[in-house]
Structure 1
Amino acid sequence: MVNKKRGLILSATVAVLTAVAVTGGGLRFSQSQAFFQDNPKELVDEVWQIINRTYVDVTFNQVDWRAIRQEYLKRPYGDKKEAYKAIREMLERLEDPYTRFMDPEEFKNMQIDTSGELTGVGIQITKDEETNELMVVAPIENTPAFKAGILSKDVITKINGKITKGMDVGDAVKLIRGKPGSEVTLTIRRSAEETDYSLVRARIELNPVRSRSQQTPIGLIGYIRLTQFSSQAGQEMREAIKNLEAEQVNGYILDLRSNPGGLLYSSIEIARMWLDEGKIVSTVNRGGQEEQQRASNRALTDKPLVVLVDGGSASASEILSGALQDHRRAMIVGTQTFGKGLVQSVRGLGDGSGLAVTIAKYLTPNGRDINKQGIDPDVIFELSNDERKALQQDRERIGSFGDPQFNKAFEVLKQQITNSKESNVQAISQ
């Protein structure tokens, strides 16, 4: 669906805070073709036109979009800041947290974020459509937010004491970002309890793939943890699988927990490493037209596979896990995923600002629409609060036998490997 030459931008995804919050199965990036002169009203109309042409819902979420154009073009604009404010107000009428405007600084930061070099506290955020509150998609592993114990689905009620309800995601990003070494305090609500987290901002270098082989009672197995679908994730995943295949592992555990997503083409590329044939994902646009991405008969392994997911597994993570589940290529273990089934196109505007627009929804190979529903694991296994805290305090236990969800994944993988060996024996005997 996405041509790499047009340049994909991180979604969720993006939303990286570093990572900003627009999570997407992937964001498509293209420069605006319209000529933009230094006229604030022209910028307002340019944004309106893009939404009018490409927004996924032809009813614009039951909003009279033509009337909105007349309303905002009648206004006088003294400068770009006034236009930026008006554009954000206009987009809020859609009640879509993933369709958003970025001023030149925000847009530049988003482009930097996709390269894997981030500065901030390391969380992905979005706005809850129902409550109008800022919510954590997931903390990025080994970042200040992760180390402090911030979790997926936490609600950010204040930033440095400023109430966030109704706040634009871009404005929240500006408040949370800052120079490495400086501090920001996030007030987090979890269940009914609020807690202040004082975080020291840092420069964050993302290496999306970690892998290792491990000797177990069923022989050597491969463990791969994928933390983000960044531009380098595909190459790192390919190297990890090839190295583990060279070691002749008997099976794999692929860990997508707290992976907020990222680039759509990255999820497709990685799915092709595990699937030899069949549909990977379908995207459906406003006209109901469906575009499919399929496997390319180039899988790197057919060995048993278990995938770990949780509530922080979003967007591109759900594309990958949904495809593997529908094709019965892997068993999914953990808890229900986040439920982000929308695709955003990110466009550069003439003055250096940018616009993320929801242009399509994506479906799993069996046609499941996972937006807001998520992927239900084949084997549900949830961590207790104490177990989760223990893992955050001792990060070396994540993906090891000191990790209860890993233990469960290993049990499932053990059964898969046993069944695979029995099937091979029967085939030979026949």
Structure 2
Amino acid sequence: MAVDGEPVGGSLEKAFARLPGEVGTPVRVTFRRPGAEAPFDLELVRVPLATPSVRGARRDPSGAWSDPWLDAGRSLGYVRVSRMAEDTVDGVAAMLGRLEAGGARGVLLDLRANQGGLLSAATGVADLLLDHGKVVTIPARDGSVEEIVATPGCAFSGPLVVLVDRETASSAEVLAAALQDSRGATLVGERTFG
């Protein structure tokens, strides 16, 4: 197997490492099928890879990770947030809506290996899960302080456990701290990055 003429020795890891490049540019991948005498080339064009920042516990029939139920009895929900991005608040809101409508008794919010991203996404998710209270205080260089507080109303009011690890960082840490401090959510896992 080779990528753009450079052998990768049959290693998928090496092949995947050579695939990224500028969107719209071609990449030639050489394959060898088991039992075939000669390898063949396939030319691909690089496209942007859009992966949602929020997923559930399982794939639904269409293949999307939108099933938030951890158990067959549909009592416990799971929402994984891989990064704080533009689609995060809407994705979490959709998952919480399914869980609330389905009568979930508790939710696991998984922030492990979430290295942050948009602070607005973290504060937006916090606003979904807090009925009141401070989300974050942001000091400015001029000495002023901006305090972001939750608006009344909560998308899910049941028990909430937040999974964190040493790679949970930046705005993901802001979210975890806000949920612990203003809602009493239980944090489980390792000490976060900061």
TM-score, normalised by the number of residues in structure 2 = 0.69
Match of 2:151 among 296, 317, 320: 296
- The residue that corresponds to 1:326 in the other structure is 181
- The residue that corresponds to 1:243 in the other structure is 98
- The residue that corresponds to 2:132 in the other structure is 277
Q: How does 1:13-28 map to 2 (within 5 A)?
A: none
Runs of 4+ with >2 A deviation: 176-183, 201-204, 214-217
Cα displacement string for residues 80-105 of structure 1 (whole angstroms, at most 9, x for unaligned residues): xxxxxxxxxxxxxxxxxxxxxxxxxx
Provide the C-alpha distance between the structure 2 equivalents of 1:332 and 1:182, rounded to a whole number of angstroms. Answer: 46
Find the residue that maps to 1:214 and give its secondary structure. coil
**Are 2:89 and 1:234 equivalent residues in the alignment?**
yes
> What letter is aligned with 1:255?
D
Relative contact order, higher structure (CA 8 A, sep 6+): 1
> What letter is aligned with 2:125?
I
Identity within the alignment, % = 35
Q: How does 1:335-374 map to 2 (within 5 A)?
A: 335-339=190-194
Cα displacement string for residues 242-296 of structure 1 (whole angstroms, at most 9, x for unaligned residues): 0111111110000001111111111111101110001100000223321100000
Provide the C-alpha distance between the structure 2 equivalents of 1:299 and 1:293, rounded to a whole number of angstroms. Answer: 16
Provide the C-alpha distance between the structure 2 equivalents of 1:234 and 1:222, rounded to a whole number of angstroms. Answer: 17
- The residue that corresponds to 2:51 in the other structure is 206
State the Cα distance separating 1:177 from its structure 2 match: 6.1
> What letter is aligned with 2:114?
N
Provide the C-alpha distance between the structure 1 equivalents of 2:151 and 2:183, rounded to a whole number of angstroms. Answer: 17
Instruction: Tell me if structure 2 keeps the 8 A contact 1:308–1:333.
Output: yes
- The residue that corresponds to 2:77 in the other structure is 222
Provide the C-alpha distance between the structure 2 equivalents of 1:221 and 1:202, rounded to a whole number of angstroms. Answer: 37
Choose between structure 1 and 2: higher helix proportion.
Answer: 1
Find the residue that maps to 1:280 and give its secondary structure. strand
Instruction: Tell me if structure 1 keeps the 8 A contact 2:132–2:182.
Output: no
Taking a change above 3 Å as real, the CA distance of residues 216 and 336 of structure 1, as seen in their structure-2 partners, is: farther
Provide the C-alpha distance between the structure 1 equivalents of 2:184 and 2:93, rounded to a whole number of angstroms. Answer: 18
State the Cα distance separating 1:331 from its structure 2 match: 0.5
**Are 2:172 and 1:317 equivalent residues in the alignment?**
yes
Taking a change above 3 Å as real, the CA distance of residues 182 and 269 of structure 1, as seen in their structure-2 partners, is: farther
Q: CA RMSD in A?
A: 2.8
Instruction: Tell me if structure 1 keeps the 8 A contact 2:179–2:185.
Output: yes
Find the residue that maps to 1:204 and give its secondary structure. coil
Provide the C-alpha distance between the structure 2 equivalents of 1:313 and 1:182, rounded to a whole number of angstroms. Answer: 37
Find the residue that maps to 2:69 and give its secondary structure. strand
State the Cα distance separating 1:329 from its structure 2 match: 2.7
State the Cα distance separating 1:328 from its structure 2 match: 4.2
Instruction: Tell me if structure 1 keeps the 8 A contact 2:130–2:183.
Output: no
**Are 2:21 and 1:178 equivalent residues in the alignment?**
yes
- The residue that corresponds to 1:261 in the other structure is 116
Find the residue that maps to 2:98 and give its secondary structure. helix
Taking a change above 3 Å as real, the CA distance of residues 242 and 308 of structure 1, as seen in their structure-2 partners, is: same
Instruction: Tell me if structure 1 keeps the 8 A contact 2:83–2:115.
Output: yes
Aligned residues: 151
